[in-house]
Structure 1
Amino acid sequence: MDSPSYRLAALDEDFLLGDSMRGVRFMLEYAKAEEELRAWGVASTVVIFGSARFKDDGPENHARWYNAARELGRIVSKRGGALKTKDHPRHNVIATGGGPGIMEAANRGAQDVGAPNIGFNITLPHEQEPNHYSTPELTFQFHYFAMRKMHLAMRANALVVFPGGFGTMDELFEVLCLRQTMKIPNELPIILFDKEFWTSTFNFDKLIEVGTINPEDVKLFSYADTPEEAWSQMVKAGLCSIPKDPN
C-alpha cells in the first residue's frame, strides 16, 4: 500500500507531472480556465498586448503608452458590454497576459469602471506575476504557452497591440498568421497602436517588395494613435454588432 503504484491516479502528483500525462495537463489547462470564464458569462473579449516594462510614471513614451492602454481599457469596458451581470453574456471583456506594463494598464482601466477583466498569466523566470487589477476569479496561470495563446485568441473580438518586445511580437505575428491562413474569423480587427512606432520598427513594404507577403496582407491590420481611434475602428469592424460564440 506504500508503493507509488497504489496511489489513486488523480492524487498521484508524480504521475500527473510525468511525460506521459502531458496531454492531460494540456486538457486541464484548457478546462480550468474555460469553466471559470463560462461561470462569469464571458462570451467575447478584447485582447490587449504590449510591453511588460512600461509604467505610468516612466519615461515619456512609456508613460504615454501605459496611460493610453489604461484609457482604452476604460472605454472598451464601459461601452462594449463587459458591465453586464453574470446572468447575461458579457462581451468585449478586457483580456491581457496578466502581468505588468501594458497588461496592467489595460486591466486597470477596466477596473476603473468596475468591469471584470481577465489576466492569462504564464510561468516565467521574470517579469511575470499577476498585476493588482485583473479580477481575482479571472486571473489564471498557465504552464504551456500554446494553451495560454489559445485562450487569448478563442474569444477575441479584437486585438490591440501596443509597442513591446519579443513576447509582444510573437503574439502579434501568431495572430496575423492565423488571420492570413483564415484559422480565425476574417472580421477580427488587429490594431497596432502608435503608427510611428510600428512603421519605423517593421518595413512591411519591403516584405511585399521581396515577395514574402502579398500586398493585401497589410490589410489584415490597421493603425491607431489614440484610444478613441482604436475604439472607432473596432466599432467600424462590427465589434458591438457581431457577438462571438466562444464555441
Structure 2
Amino acid sequence: MTDVLSANAAQMASPSYRLAATDQDFLLSDSMRGVRFLLEYAKAEEALRRWSVRSTIVVFGGARVRENGPGRQAFWYEQARNFGRIASQRGGALRITGDARDNVIATGGGPGIMEAANRGATEVGAPSIGFNITLPAEQEPNAYSTPDLTFRFHYFAMRKMHLAMRAKALVVLPGGFGTLDELFEIVTLQQTGKAPLTPTVLIDEQYWRSVFSVDAMLEHGMVNPRDLELFCYARDAEDAWAKLEERGITCHASARI
C-alpha cells in the first residue's frame, strides 16, 4: 500500500488534482474573473433576500466627515444620522410581520457620512446595509451596519450594481471624488434611460453649488434643461424626507415610532 501511495504522490500533490471549488490559486486566476464577479453578485443577493430587503434608500457622503469635525462637518454628520432614523422609522425597514422590508438604509459601509446613516438606522432598531470595498489602504466597516448585511467587494462595478439595483431613492451629503463618482454614476444611468428615475436629493445646496455648476453645463449646452430635474436640494434630513415623499416615496405610518 505504501508503495502505491508513493507511486502516485506527484499526482496527488499536483494543483490540477485539487477540487476546483477549493483551489484558491485557480479561483483567483485571470480566467476566473467572471466567476468571481458572479460570486460577488450572488453572495450579497442571497443575504438581502434572507432579510426580505425589497428596496433601499442609498446614502452617499464623505468618508472624512467626523461627528465633531471642523466647519460644517458636525452638521452634515448629524443630518445623515437623522436621515437614517427618519427613513428607517417611516419607510418600512422596521416591518417585522413577514412583509418585505422597504427603504432600508444602504451605504458604502465605511466611516463618516456612511457611518452616520447606518448609526441612525441602528438607533431606531432597523437593519441597514454596508456595501464595503477592498482598497489599498484597507477600509474597515463601521460599527453600525447590520452584521449580516455588511458586505465586502473587490469589484467597484459589482458594488455599484448592488447599490443601485434596489434603490428607490438617493440622498447625497457633502463628499469628495468618491461621492461625486457615485452620484453621477446613478444620475447618468437615469439620464440615459438605463435605470428608472430615482428621486435624488442633495443636502446642503450651498456646498453642492460650490462644487459643481449644472447651470454652467446648461449654458454651454452640455446638458438638457430636463436634466436639471434629475435631482433637487434639501436643507436638512427632514427636508430631504419631505422632498422624497413629494417624489413618491411611501411613508409607512404603521412603522412610525
TM-score by length of 2: 0.92
- Structure with higher Rg: it is 2
Match of 1:223 in 2: 233
- Percent identity for Structure 1 against Structure 2: 65
Q: CA deviation at 1:128?
A: 2.0
Aligned to 2:72, the other structure's residue is in SS state helix
Equivalence map 1:3-22=2 (5 Å): 3-22=14-33
Match of 2:50 in 1: 39
Q: CA deviation at 1:52?
A: 0.2
The answer to whether the 8 Å contact 1:40/1:86 transfers is no
Aligned to 1:223, the other structure's residue is in SS state strand
Aligned to 1:184, the other structure's residue is in SS state coil
Match of 2:177 in 1: 166
1:102 corresponds, among 103, 113, 116, to 113
Structure 2 letter corresponding to 1:120: F
1:60 corresponds, among 71, 76, 81, to 71
Match of 1:71 in 2: 82
Once the two structures are superposed, what CA deviation does each residue of 1:183-211 show, in whole Å capped at 9, x if it has no partner? 1112x101111000111111111111111
* Separation of aligned partners in 2, 1:146 and 1:138: 19
The answer to whether the 8 Å contact 1:49/1:96 transfers is yes
Structure 2 letter corresponding to 1:137: D
- Asked if 1:210 corresponds to 2:220, the answer is yes
Structure 1 letter corresponding to 2:234: A
The answer to whether the 8 Å contact 1:39/1:86 transfers is no
Q: CA deviation at 1:94?
A: 0.2
Q: CA deviation at 1:35?
A: 0.1
Structure 1 consecutive aligned stretches of length 4 or more whose deviation exceeds 3 Å? none
Structure 2 letter corresponding to 1:228: E
* Separation of aligned partners in 1, 2:182 and 2:220: 24
1:80 corresponds, among 79, 83, 91, to 91
Match of 1:89 in 2: 100
Once the two structures are superposed, what CA deviation does each residue of 1:49-102 show, in whole Å capped at 9, x if it has no partner? 000011111113011100000000000000000001272200000000000000
Match of 1:113 in 2: 124
Structure 2 letter corresponding to 1:121: N
The answer to whether the 8 Å contact 1:195/1:223 transfers is yes
TM-score by length of 1: 0.95
* Separation of aligned partners in 1, 2:14 and 2:83: 56
In structure 2, the CA distance between the partners of 1:210 and 1:120, relative to structure 1 (3 Å rule), is same
Count of equivalent residues: 241
Aligned to 2:13, the other structure's residue is in SS state coil
Q: CA deviation at 1:123?
A: 0.3
